[in-house]
Amino acid sequence: MTEKYSQTNIHRFIKNFVESKNGELTEQSDQTFLVKLPNNPYPTQYTYDPAVAREKNAVLITLGSPTFQQMLRECSEVGTLCRITLSPKEGYETLLKAYFKDTLFTCEGCSKLTMDNQGRRLCEQPKPCYHQMNNGKIVSIRIAKTKPTIFFQFYFSVVFQNRLRAKNEEIIKILVDEKGNQVEAEENFENTLVDSGQIHVEDSRAKINLQLFDDLKKSVDRKLNALIEEKLILFDLPLIKEKNTRLRNFTSRFRRERREQVISKHNNFDYVRWQANYDMLLRREEESLTTAVTVKLLNLLVVDTICVNFEISIDNGSTVKSSFILGITQPEVICPICRKPFFEGYATQDHFYVCENCIRQSVDTAKIYSKKASLRLDETLGEYIEADMGFVCSVCGKRHSRLLEFKCSHDHSSVCIYHYDRCDVCGETFSKANLFYTDEFRRRLCPKHASKETIRGALT
């Protein structure tokens, strides 16, 4: 076979399946391969190409073909134990740099939005594909500690069946550590591992201790029962009304039959016997309307991985400390002020790295500080300024943002928005302390025009 087919996941699956049956797989040069099983003296010819299947009269194997589906059914009936070992392809530092971004970044795996002929991708994941770091640059990444660890992913098929509703089957996954504690992993992490370009996945032939498996199974069963009870309530919720209606109709029918038999003089009615029969049939009717739950263990995935503790130094002097489990969880950053996890942070002037809810930005300098910084609140703007920034109004004596500063054209003193005005003659800006107000028409005059007005009044 060509490398196009021999290196595919489906071909590796077929080879493993044949080996599990103690069979022999022989690859041919014409896009086919022969499979010989112990219970069949003659080998069977298979192919992945429909054209070759028609030409060579070979059995076609595709993702939806009957032959492939039969193999999957046999695997699911027996149960498949899979064990893998995870390791970073290019080191932990490279892996972390792919997650923490200190520059603008677009998620290539998510949807694309076009605006003004420019394309920008938007992350559609429940959690962002990366952690955006703003207002700072990564200086260094240090791996503080690594610890090998094992996780166990149990796959269960749970079928809910009730004659009032179509059968419903769900696949429930429960991930636990070696102590049986449940772990919240990234959604469908096992599928992500296959497509990951950062993590190397290798099959492991290490065995699992049977006593450990039994202990884990007991712990997982308790968690599974709790999940099934919650799902059962949701499954039965829309059926309650119809179930009660059917039981009422059933009861009404039997009571009507009882009245007919009592009224009829042709039968000797036995009430005790009727009541016993009614109770038995009612109990049977209720049981027939009860949802049946069937649970089957489909598979167990054992993951040998590593828990990594790390520190990221930022050029503002702050340090981000966190950890992650390779292939299982993403690094989670906790805000040092509000103690909540976040996925977009800011490096502040006062040497912190905090979430968006814990920052304050100076309206004067646009610098970003944390809530712990001693900033001054400008009551007029409702914004913050540095304690030693802004200006002091020469009239009211209060400190304000530079955005509210006006210069008096007479003495160049600084005045705030509440204590400036304009001369009605020249229109220049002046401090209210330097303006004069005439009694006639209540005009505002600067010192220059006020003196001219005074001289004109004296002459007249």
Over residues 365-376, the pLDDT tens digits come to 889 999 999 888
More confident residue, 337 or 398: 337
Q: Which CATH number fits domain 3-78: 3.30.360, 3.40.50, 1.10.287, 3.30.70?
A: 3.30.360
pLDDT tens-digit readout, 268-320: 777 788 888 888 888 888 878 888 899 988 888 999 999 999 999 999 999 99
How far apart (Å, rounded) are the C-alpha atoms in residues 137 and 316?
8
Q: What is the pLDDT at residue 369?
A: 94
Q: What is the pLDDT at residue 176?
A: 95
Tokens of 152: 């166990």
Percent of the chain beyond pLDDT 70?
91
Tokens of 229: 């009870």
Q: According to CATH, where is 3.30.40 located in the chain? A: 390-459
Fold of the domain built from segment(s) 390-459? Herpes Virus-1 (3.30.40)
More confident residue, 412 or 127: 412
